[in-house]
Amino acid sequence: MANERENETNYTIYEDDALGDVRIADEVVAIIAGISAMDVDGVVSMAGNAGSLQKEIISRLGNKVLSKGVKIHMEDGLVKANLSVVLDYGCVIPDVTAAIQEKVKSAIETMTGLTVAEVNVQVADVKLEEE
C-alpha cells in the first residue's frame, strides 16, 4: 500500500502564501465520482478494475472499494473522469448515462472546486433481474 500512495497524484485546489496549500488526492476525486454515479437510478454497481489487483481482491472479500470502476486524469488543470458501470436491465441507457455524467460532474466541481472537462461512461454489463 505504501507504493500505491507514492504513485497517487495530488491536485492543488487552494493556495495561500500565509497559510499554505490544500491538495486533494486523485483517489478522493475517484471516490466522489463513484459514490455519485451509484446514486443514479438504474446503476447496479461500478465495474471493471480501475485500480490494482489488490483493490479487486479487497473488494471481493467484502470491503467496499469506493473508487472501483473509476479512473481520474488531470490534464491542463481539467479533470477527466472515466467510469465503468453495470446497469439494470430495462433502463434507458442514454438517459441513465447522461444522468451519471451530470451527477458526477456536479459532485466533483461542487466538492473540490476542480473543473471537470469530461465524464466518460462505459456500460460494462447489464444486470438481469434475479429469478
**What are the structural domains, with CATH classification, of the chain?**
27-127 (3.30.70.1350)
Q: Is the pLDDT of residue 39 over 90?
A: yes
Rounded to the nearest 5 degrees, what angle is found at the Cα of 100, between the Cα atoms of 96 and 105?
155
- Reported as a pLDDT band with limits 50, 70 and 90, residue 2 is very low
Lowest mean pLDDT among 4-13, 28-37, 61-70, 73-82: 4-13
Question: From the CB of residue 106, how many other CB atoms can be counted at a distance below 10 Å?
Answer: 13
